[in-house]
Structure 1
Amino acid sequence: MTLSFLRSSAPRILRSTRLLPAAAALLAAHAVMAQVGPRNEKNPVTVSETTKAPDRATSYYHYGLAHLYEEMAVNAGRPDYATQAIEQYKLALDADPSSTLLQDGLGDLYFRLGRIREAVQAAQEQVTRNPDDLAAHELLGKVYVRSLGDMQGAQAADMLKLAIAEYEKLAELKPNDVETKLLLGQLYGVNHDSVKAEKEFRAAQGIDSNSEEVVLNMARLYTEEGSPQRAVDALMAVPETDRTERMEYALGASYDQLKDPRQAAAAYRRALDMEPDNLDAERGLANALLLDGQLDEAMKTLQAILTAEPQDVQSQIHISEVQRRQGHYKESLATLEKAKSLAPDNPELNYNEALLYDSLGQYPEATGVLEKLLAASSHPDGNYSEQEKGNRYLFLDRLGSIYKEEDKTPEAIAAYKQVVALGGDFTVRGYQGEVDTYRDAHQFKEATAVGAEAAKAFPKDKNVQLMYAQQLTDTGKIDEGLALAKAQLTGATDDRDVHLALGQMLIRLRQYKEANAELDIASASATRPEEKRYVTFLRGELYDRAKEFDLAEAEFRKALATDPKDPTILNYLGYMLADRGEKLPEALEMIKTAVELDPQNYAYLDSLGWVYFKLGQNTLAEQNLHKAIERSSADATVHDHLGQVYEKTGRLKLAVTQWERAMTEFAQSLPADSDPADVEKVRHQLEGARTKLAHAEVSGKPVK
């Protein structure tokens, strides 16, 4: 009996029936078999493997019925058909016991029916009979991979070993199969064997260099290893014209990890050009635009997402963020209220609400929201997942920042102590928060004590030791601090960070020649654009403090050429120009951009007020300087600036109050944070104002 004969007989029967296709085919098969001849009813098709030759006609008949029953079982959801399918396979095997095709088919049927144990048993028996049976190994591999997701702990580890062993065998049997190598590479990745995983992916790439799956798997491996730059390199190796939308999306995600939102946005745009309805790419683009400070473009993208998905809470939160950063506080609050009706308990939504209250200067409301978030996410046993720790760190860090703005140092310290308690890297961040809080409050003894505690707790953490070294040099223990910093040098490539830290310390100590030498060393080992940009920025700061303003401007402009949206550089150069009364329109645009990128930064608000003052726009100057003081009241320079605005607008008493506060802050500041020339200038202004007030009192003239 041949397959062509079965096909020619079936239609004649099907024309006279109204059965399901599978059922009709089953009758056709019975009709065909009727032409083969009668069977022994006592022993229908059983053939003794040792006494008879294989009866392939009978075997084929039952094999065909098995497939038909299987189709009916799937279409009708009937377990009795599944049982019949298995029985027919067994009858087929009785007729031809040595058939590899039938043995593999029965195992595969068990697998498709969810009878995993029997599938494994059938496949293992076949592998025992034929160690190179490809189908049996494929079945075992599929079973083990599928079972991985249902197991945990030691069971999962054992199952992973079995899966790897099967796919290693399959890779041996199919040395040029890309899919096998990809899956084996993925299994090695799950087993944290990145070397073997990369080897398999590269082997797959050698077979098919244009395979999308190969490139994506290599990028995923590098990302999971914590090497997003290698992921970018793997994806960028594919010419742009050959990249798929999935490759561009993965490239955008890798740039996200590298904190390069501009490149991320470009990659997401290319993905959207190929697949305009890809909402994931659109969300990635919106987030990248937000991070890059392209607020108008971010708003357009977010609104497009909401048009497609009006209930998208995440996009509404981001729209509120754009509105907040653009200073549209009422609209931002309204957007959050709308989102809250859809997801009242969304932590990110509530966190953004706290940020909005902070922007409005409504500190009790902001801290109230954050305290509720912390209470809702608190565990009595103090055990948190990494994601939970990350969330609590955000809440506590913002809470500490707001308390600092309110000059509530003990409350801020308490918040950062909770960060320390989170453990791991968060402990280091908590210590840094405590040090910064004490420094902002001019409590330098306490800051040094925390630095010492952190250095003792993390003796091998380079960054912690450098933090303590900075504190030592700032508080007059110069030799001890510099020695501690230099002790972190190992001769390895990561010494660049130590040389940068030494450069910063020496700049603050006004040892400019020595600082320049450290920056030269750091520059020589810088490879990435952001590394080189930071060295250039520090050199600009060095020249500014050394009063070599033209050289400073040149360095800052060089740094800006590599990233025109860096708020730190924009603010520093803009302020330096404004302070000298030069290029004021350009300085204004630079500082406004910095404020747009970081609207709560008191130093940027101070710079904005100062450039407005230099432009003669005293109302705007006063408004922004007040905002700066609300954010930080311990900066002598801000009080000096506001004093000058008051003097310029005829409010001498208010000016005196600000200059007196400035002198108080100067007296409490670190030597590195106050230029003696600036201190003398404020003292001169204060004395002059007091003299004028005294003369006015003698003459009886009214003075504001």
Structure 2
Amino acid sequence: MTLFLRASSLRPYRLLPAAVLLFAAHSMFAETPAATKAAPSTPDRASAYYHYGLAHLYEDMAVSAGRSDYATQAVEEYKLALNADPNSQLLQDGLASLYFKIGRIREAVSTAQDRIAKDPNDIGAHELLGKVYLRSLGDTQTPQSGQVLKLAITEYEKLAELKPKDVETHLLLGQLYGLNHDSAKAEAQFKEAQKVDANSEEVALNMARLYGEEGDAKRAADVLNGIPMDDRSARIEYALGATYDQLKKPQEAAAAYQRALDLEPGNLDTERGLANALLADGKLDESLKIFNEIVAAEPQDAQSQIHISEIERRQGHYDQALATLEKAKPLAENSLELSYNEALLYDSLGRYDEATAVLTKLVADTAHADGKYSDGDKANRAVFLDRLGIIYREENKTTEAVAAYKQMVDLGGEYAKGGYQGQVDAYRDAHQWKDATASAAAAAKAQPKDQAVQLMYAGQLADTGEAEQGIALAKAQLSATRTTPEDRDTYLALTQIYTRLKQWPDAAAALDSAAALSTKPDEKLYVYFLRGVLADRQKHYDEAEAEFHKALAIDPQNPTILNYLGYMLADRGVKLPEALTLIRKAVDLDPQNGAYLDSLGWVYFKSGQYDLAEQNLRKAMERMSTDPTVHDHLGEVYEKTGKLKLAVTQWERSMTEYAHSLPADADPADVAKVQHKLENARVKLAKVSPAPAK
């Protein structure tokens, strides 16, 4: 045994000539057995050790020099060693392992299987087979991957039985179960590994990854947060940041990415994560700084340049944003995201024809002649078609908008619902109420069992004078128990119907029923928002403000809630700095939204910043030309800045749009106020205008 250890000690010196190594090994043995010697009746350990030592030397040289002749000689030496000691588990496992290393997989498997046939508990043989199957799984060209996965699971199940305290075995088995879509068994293996090593980073990462893949990002975050802060590595913090990204908690994500960078400065992947989290949190300047640093370090990073352009667009630097995209184009010639951002830029600039041209091309380029699309393809097309429909609506091109939404319907599933809703909204924007109702009715007929489509039709009926029929249709969507998630959606729809009809007690009761079925944070958020709307409509402003703040505590980046609260404050002329902050954040998150631009213009007006008010209200009017409130607001600005004729024109347009609006959108008090302003302005104009010549 001592001689064998000496032979092994030569292995690190890989630069010695092969002949010297072989001579050294040869000199350690008094007798060199003949290669053709028959297998002894009793093990010849000395001869076995001799050939085993030579096999190791040839194996090392084969690996370091990449020479097949050394590999062949190593195999022959193993065979001679086995000839001297046929029952040696060490030699048999060694030969099987050598076959695996030099790529003779079939012989490796055969040798390992022979070992297992003789000894079912041969750990080395099971480990070798497990490695073979894992390698095969990594080969995407393997056609029988499902069968190979089962074989790999079988081997590692046996290894977990033979080595119950081995963390690596439990982790590998858990990963294999995950590949086999058996989450329960995967979790059980990770927990077994956790019992062995409660502080294992790999265990925590694997458990978090499993929960994330299951869609339970909160549980994943809990696992990672369970590791004491002082014990966390950069990998843990990076994974935590990615998990917070899933949870749409950009502040927490940014903090985790920053801690990862503190532990491992200069990691570009982590810097990208931090920059994206800051962007999602609306911290545009901080995000832009990091993206610029990334591009300086890696000029070929087209994705970061696209994000830089997005930030520049959201900051209103449109020409600069276009220039950045032009620089990125050669690096990402076929990037759908780049083209989509280009369309958004053209939309922001009011260059609608160019925006629709880009989007139309995106739709055409992603079309499949057979109409079959992957989930990713459907998601992309839905985004392109929806934005195309929105721009057509901004241009008052209702026919074109409806055509775009019909293509969304063809995608089926949730996208079909969005397409149906888009058609109805396009007709509503144009005040084509009969067409809107007909479109909703056609959708309800096409999908009679789809609750969301039926509720859309119910709301349209209630809005257009068929309140009882609409309410009845909505209530018909309730289940017998009235306790399902679908019932919650129905109660929320009823809340909105009753609110628009000013049936306050019924609206409150329906919302209470929805609240009782709301358990998740995002579900509670929407309940708080609707309670705020309901209180605002009844002029209970303090109560409304409190409800909106509850909602924002759950999602501080929700532009709809930010805008509603900001506008409510601005319209009353209270807390104007807070209102401006809220609305500007909403506009940053959705710069093309006409309603948000109207709110921004109105808060500037209330603050006495008339130039900014006019600038934003004009942008809003371009996108919402049929909204009477926008025309009223712009009329106020013109009247305040001495442009009385323009004010009259806007108030006349406001009255025209009110005349074509739904009863729920034309509050008599608001209409009376505009009428009063219009009459006063006409009187003022008559006083300052010269009398016509007779």
Q: Which category describes the TM-score, using the shorter chain as reference length?
A: over 0.9
Contact 2:552 2:558 survives alignment (8 Å): yes
Aligned to 2:403: 414
Percent identity over paired residues: 66
| Aligned residues of 1:10 and 1:29 also touching (Cα < 8 A) | no
Q: Deviations over 1:317-343 (max 9, x none)?
A: 111111111111122122112222433
The two structures have a TM-score, normalised by structure 1, of 0.92
More off after superposition, 260-269 vs 440-449: 440-449
Q: Distance in 1 between matches of 2:567 and 2:148?
A: 63
2:336 to 322, 344, 347: 347
Q: Deviations over 1:583-607 (max 9, x none)?
A: 3343333323332332221111111
Instruction: Specify every segment of 5 or more residues in structure 2 that has no aligned partner in the other structure, as ranges.
Output: none
**Alignment of structure 1 residues 197-346 onto 2, 5 Å:** 197-346=186-335
| d(CA) in 2 for partners of 1:658, 1:8 | 94
**2-structure distance, mates of 1:175, 1:630:** 69
1:677-702 Cα shifts (integer Å, max 9, x gaps): 1122223333444455566667349x
Give the letter for the 1:655 counterpart.
A
Question: Quick one: structure 1 residues 402 and 557, their matched pair in 2 at CA, closer, same or farther if it must change by over 3 Å?
Answer: same
Is the partner of 1:699 in helix, strand or coil? coil
Conserved? CA contact 1:9–1:32, under 8 Å: no
Partner deviation per Cα, 1:646-676 (whole Å, 9 max, x = no partner): 3333433333332232222222222222212
Distance 1:445 1:22 in 2: 91
Structure 2: how far apart are the matches of 1:308 and 1:360? 31
Partner of 1:25: 21
Task: Please give the residue correspondences for 1:160-559 in structure 2 after superposition, counting only pairs within 5 Å.
Answer: 160-486=149-475, 487-489=477-479, 490-492=482-484, 495-559=487-551
How many residues align? The count is 689
Question: 5+ unaligned residues in a row in structure 1: which ranges?
Answer: none
Residue 3 (structure 1) aligned with residue 22 (structure 2): no
Retained in 1: the 8 A contact 2:521–2:554? Answer: yes
Q: Which residue of 1 aligns with 2:118?
A: 129
Instruction: Specify the alignment match of 1:616 in structure 2.
Output: 608
Give the residue type in structure 1 aligned to 2:343: A
1: CA distance between counterparts of 2:638 and 2:344? Answer: 31
CA distance in 2 between partners of 1:514 and 1:607 (Å): 30
1:583 aligns with 2:572: no
What's the offset of the Cα at 1:561? 5.0
C-alpha distance in 1 between matches for 2:123 and 2:618: 77
Query: Is the contact made by 2:4 and 2:49 (CA closer than 8 Å) also made in structure 1?
Result: no
Deviation per CA, 1:543-562, whole angstroms, max 9, x where unpaired?
11112223323333444455
C-alpha displacement at 1:524, in angstroms? 4.2
Instruction: Tell me, in whole angstroms, the C-alpha distance in 1 between the residues paired with 2:67 and 2:570.
Output: 82
| Deviations, residues 81-105 of structure 1 (Å, cap 9, x unaligned) | 1111111111111111111111111
SS in 1 for 2:144: helix
- Kindly indicate whether the alpha-carbon contact (under 8 Å) linking 2:7 and 2:53 is maintained by their aligned counterparts in 1: no
Separation in 2 of the partners of 1:372 and 1:670?
Answer: 36
Per-residue CA shift, 1:63-94, capped at 9, x if unaligned?
11111111111111111111111111111111
- TM-superposed CA distance for 1:259, in Å, is 2.1
Partner of 2:98: 109
Find the aligned partners of 1:348 and 1:216 in 2 and give their Cα distance.
Answer: 30
CA distance in 1, matches of 2:76, 2:661: 89
| Cα deviation 1:491-517 (Å, max 9, x = unaligned) | 135644333332222211211122222
- Deviation (angstroms), 1:196: 1.1
Amino acid at match of 1:501: A
* Letter aligned with residue 137 of structure 1: H
- Between the aligned partners of 1:19 and 1:634, the Cα distance in structure 2 is 83
Match for 2:644 among 632, 643, 652?
652
Q: Does 1:641 align with 2:633?
A: yes
Q: Does 1:61 align with 2:50?
A: yes
Q: CA deviation at 1:645?
A: 2.4
Output the amino acid matched with 1:618.
Y
**1:676 partnered with 2:665:** no
SS of the equivalent of 2:178 reads helix
Q: Please give the secondary structure, in 2, of the residue aligned with 1:616.
A: coil
Q: How many angstroms does 1:10 deviate by? A: 7.4
Counterpart AA for 2:452? N
Say which of 587, 602, 605 aligns to 2:597: 605
Specify the code of the residue in structure 1 equivalent to 2:636.
Answer: Q
Partners in 2 of 1:594 and 1:326 — Cα distance?
13
Query: How far apart are the structure 1 equivalents of 2:492 and 2:428?
Result: 21
Superposition deviation, residue 406 in structure 1: 0.8
2-structure distance, mates of 1:332, 1:645: 30
Q: What is the CA distance between 1:121 and its match in structure 2?
A: 0.9
Residues 1:253 and 1:646: Cα distance change in structure 2 (over 3 Å):
same
Preserved contact between residue 8 and residue 53 of structure 2 (Cα < 8 Å): no
Q: TM-score, normalised by structure 2?
A: 0.93
Query: Alpha-carbon deviations, 1:100-151, whole Å to 9, x = none?
Result: 1111111111111111111111111111111111111111111112112335
Is 403-412 or 530-539 further displaced after alignment? 530-539
1-structure distance, mates of 2:307, 2:685: 52
**Mapped contact 1:181–1:204 kept (Cα < 8 A):** yes
Distance (Å, rounded) in 2 between the aligned partners of 1:314 and 1:567:
25
Aligned equivalents of 1:495, 1:262: Cα separation in 2:
33
SS of aligned partner of 1:310: coil
Number of the residue aligned with 2:588: 596
Give the superposed CA RMSD.
2.6
Kindly provide the amino acid, as one letter, of the partner of residue 624 in structure 1.
N
Q: Please give the secondary structure, in 1, of the residue aligned with 2:608.
A: coil
Shift, 1:152, TM fit: 6.5
The amino acid across from 1:20 in the alignment is L
Pair 334,630 (structure 1): closer, same or farther in 2 beyond 3 Å: same
Inter-partner Cα distance in structure 2 for 1:598 and 1:443: 26
Matched letter for residue 322 of structure 1: I
CA distance in 2, matches of 1:88, 1:322: 66
Q: 1:228·1:257 contact (CA, 8 Å) conserved in 2?
A: yes
* Equivalent position amino acid for 1:24 in 2: V
Distance 1:558 1:38, change over 3 A: closer
Contact 1:367 1:399 in 2 (8 A): yes
* CA–CA separation in structure 2 for the residues paired with 1:177 and 1:8: 27
Are residues 100 and 455 of structure 1, via their aligned partners in 2, closer, same or farther at CA, if it must alter by over 3 Å?
A: farther
Greater CA drift, 333-342 or 349-358 = 333-342
Contact 2:483 2:517 in 1 (8 A): no
Letter of the 1:582 counterpart? V
| Structure 2 CA distance for partners of 1:314 and 1:700, relative to 1, 3 Å | same
* CA–CA separation in structure 1 for the residues paired with 2:499 and 2:57: 83
* 1:219 positional shift: 1.3
Distance change (3 Å), C-alpha of 1:693 and 1:562: same
The whole-number CA distance in structure 2 between the counterparts of 1:477 and 1:698 is: 51
Question: Relative to structure 2, which stretch is displaced further, 401-410 or 611-620?
Answer: 611-620
